[in-house]
Chain A
Amino acid sequence: MLESPVLNAFEAVGLKKDFDDGAVQALRSLDLQIPEGEFIAITGPSGCGKTTLLQLLGALDRPTAGTLVFRGVSIPDLPDPSAYRSREIGFVFQSFHLLPTFTALENVQIPMLETRMPSAKRRDQARELLKSVGLERRLNHFPSKLSGGERQRVAIARSLANSPSVLLADEPTGNLDSDNAAMILDLLVKIQQEKRMTLVLVTHDDRVAHRATRIIHMIDGHAVSDRQTGNGVYQ
């Protein structure tokens, strides 16, 4: 029996990103392929270009040179990057970035406001997502009343609001203690596997990185190593 070929979610060729008119070269001719459904950890020291890569993948910024495509479509040439982020990308941030004046249930609904989903359905879906991350008892709590781990779980639920195909996580465990970090990582891996999502996770932490199927190590804007961890790719 023939296996179906693995499609690439992202492909980058000669990807460059400069800041300050070239004074800072965050990415220097990066070539990269990220297959659909893969969990990739991007590691490397501060300033190596990890977060810049995440920004380019999420169409939050434009590359200086090179090509970057998502399922064959050039990301810098997207006519509506916000629609791409809304439909395809879920972001998880190190500092959670929950809106302080909204409850957990409302925070999860924020990305859905850009869709035409009826409000009752939005609320039900947000409730389900919070239940799936174990926060069914914290629906109406404001972020200030939640622990760090709970806030990150709300943020993960929010990132899944519009059923994206890709999760981009920037140091998602960076502001958490080890127990909460392990729990959040388990949750991300579980979601990635259950939903067959592509997960690109930026981290400093080798223990976190080793949960991925593949680790790309970056230094000074280059990918200096790209190796499988043996965890296997979910297909």
Chain B
Amino acid sequence: MSFVTVVIRGLIRRRTRTTLTLLGISIGIAAVVALVGLSRGLNKSWAAGMKARGTDVVVSNMTSSLVPKPFNATVRDRIAHLPHIAGTCTLLVDLMSVENTEMIMVSGREWGGFAWGNLKLMSGRMPNAAQEKAVVLGRTAADVLKKKVGDPIQIETAELKVVGIVDGNAWVENGSVILSMPLLQEITGDQDRINVIDVRLTPGTSRADVQSLCEQIDQLVPEARAIVASENLNQSEISRIVGAMSWSTSLLAVLVGVLGVMNTMLMNVFERTPEICVLLALGWKRRRIVELVLWESAILGLLGGIIGVFIGVVGVRLLAATPSIRGLLEPDIGIRLLAVSVAIAILVGVVSGLYPAWRSSRVTPSQALHG
């Protein structure tokens, strides 16, 4: 038997209460894992999509919406001649409700542009012409929409045909409905409007040259911003809003966890006051009693953190598989996020235990001789 035994026995003596408290912390930590994982996944999915398309610099106007604001297609002519630019490809992307799906990425790509190059046909064929009433579906989008090659598909009022299923080598690409940009412009009535210019750079372009190019583009195109592809979504307001909301919601959930643990530990201390008096009478130091309470709450936090991480990972996988999210973003749950979540849980435990521990240190040992 050791001090740890005393700590563990303290926790298991009220199994139901301990279990409920663990559940409270777990849900808070699961919220941290799920919300932060999803918001980080949003950034990662966009970056992966651009990487898959071979994009080095993105020219777009990511303000406070999930998709960039449209601008005139002639913008491309203003930048195409700049040094270090090997090629450009214009896109019109939008989040749309397609048939029974609440929201799916619809990606109109410049006919013949390099953004088609990363798509590997899994079945069927690519569209034959810019005006052909045809789409290809990313493999996840095909699952979500329950479509196969040859099926009709309705986008807004246009009746199109699924001619191929493709693997885009990125979550966001696989979750997209892909068609020629002129066709999408016609469907949405956005003729001559685009909202993304993918820019490929000449090999060997230095970081300083990339930076300089972005500045030149910003000067030439005031209606959009040029950003290195990997930083694109991180720079957007919506990304920051989503990040802030996910952390603030998580912190609220964590706060509920703190109150839960504090309540449990306070009840523990009140209930065990006679026992604490006896321990003091038997020669235990007050510091040791404080350690006992803090260890109990820290272990509650640790266990709650581990369970919460598990619930969070499973939950976010289930969430990402729901029709409304599936294909739009890939949750980004790295070891670091899990470790931070468990650390937060332990901190929750320790912080929650501080007041009960202080209360326990105020107990008068003479009470041991009463009753």
Assembly CA distance A110 to B371 (angstroms) = 20
Question: Is A151 engaged at the interface, CB distance under 8 Å to the other chain?
Answer: no
Given contacts A101-B13, A114-B288, contact A60 B283 (CB under 8 A): no
Which of A28-36, A86-94, A182-190, A224-232 faces chain B? Answer: A86-94
Tell me if B3 and A113 are in contact (CB < 8 A).
yes
Tell me if A110 and B365 are in contact (CB < 8 A).
no
Question: Is A97 engaged at the interface, CB distance under 8 Å to the other chain?
Answer: yes
Question: Is A83 engaged at the interface, CB distance under 8 Å to the other chain?
Answer: yes
Assembly CA distance A93 to B371 (angstroms) = 9
Question: Is B208 engaged at the interface, CB distance under 8 Å to the other chain?
Answer: no
Which of B68-76, B242-250, B272-280, B351-359 faces chain A? Answer: B272-280
Chain A interface size band reads 35 or more
Neighbouring B residues of A122 by C-beta, 8 Å: 1
The residues in A between 35 and 87 inclusive whose CB is less than 8 angstroms from any CB of B are 51, 54-55, 58, 60-61, 80, 82-83, 85-87
Assembly CA distance A163 to B278 (angstroms) = 18
Question: Is A111 engaged at the interface, CB distance under 8 Å to the other chain?
Answer: yes
Which listed residue (A55, A101, A106) contacts B12, Cβ 8 A?
Answer: A101
Which listed residue (A51, A82, A95, A109) contacts B280, Cβ 8 A?
Answer: A82
Min distance, Cβ A132 to any Cβ of chain B, angstroms: 18
Neighbouring A residues of B275 by C-beta, 8 Å: 97, 99
The residues in A between 197 and 216 inclusive whose CB is less than 8 angstroms from any CB of B are none
Which listed residue (A54, A86, A89, A97) contacts B274, Cβ 8 A?
Answer: A97
Which listed residue (A51, A61, A91) contacts B282, Cβ 8 A?
Answer: A91
The residues in B between 95 and 136 inclusive whose CB is less than 8 angstroms from any CB of A are none
Cβ-closest chain B residue relative to A55: B366
Return the CB mask of A94-122 against B: 1 if under 8 Å, else 0: 01010111100110011101100001001
The residues in B between 1 and 59 inclusive whose CB is less than 8 angstroms from any CB of A are 1-3, 5-6, 9-10, 12-13
Min distance, Cβ B16 to any Cβ of chain A, angstroms: 15
Assembly CA distance A91 to B283 (angstroms) = 10
**Counting chain B CB atoms within 10 Å of each CB, which of A83, A86, A93 scores highest?**
A93
Assembly CA distance A60 to B369 (angstroms) = 9
Assembly CA distance A93 to B274 (angstroms) = 12
Neighbouring B residues of A95 by C-beta, 8 Å: 371
Assembly CA distance A170 to B278 (angstroms) = 13
Question: Is B205 engaged at the interface, CB distance under 8 Å to the other chain?
Answer: no
Question: Is B161 engaged at the interface, CB distance under 8 Å to the other chain?
Answer: no
Tell me if B282 and A101 are in contact (CB < 8 A).
no
Neighbouring B residues of A55 by C-beta, 8 Å: 366, 369
Tell me if B1 and A106 are in contact (CB < 8 A).
yes
Neighbouring A residues of B149 by C-beta, 8 Å: none
Tell me if A60 and B368 are in contact (CB < 8 A).
yes
Tell me if B281 and A60 are in contact (CB < 8 A).
yes
Neighbouring B residues of A158 by C-beta, 8 Å: 282
Cβ-closest chain A residue relative to B288: A114
Question: Is A173 engaged at the interface, CB distance under 8 Å to the other chain?
Answer: no
Question: Is A162 engaged at the interface, CB distance under 8 Å to the other chain?
Answer: yes
Assembly CA distance A61 to B370 (angstroms) = 13
Neighbouring A residues of B282 by C-beta, 8 Å: 85-86, 91, 110-111, 114, 158, 161
Neighbouring A residues of B9 by C-beta, 8 Å: 99, 101-102
Question: Is A138 engaged at the interface, CB distance under 8 Å to the other chain?
Answer: no
Sample of 8 further A-B pairs with CB below 8 A, known A60-B366, A85-B283, A99-B278: A60-B365, A61-B366, A86-B282, A91-B368, A99-B275, A110-B279, A113-B284, A161-B282
A-B pairs, top 3 by smallest CB distance, nearest first, are A86-B283, A60-B366, A85-B283
10 cross-chain CB contacts under 8 A: A51-B370, A60-B366, A86-B283, A87-B283, A93-B368, A97-B275, A101-B10, A111-B282, A114-B285, A162-B283
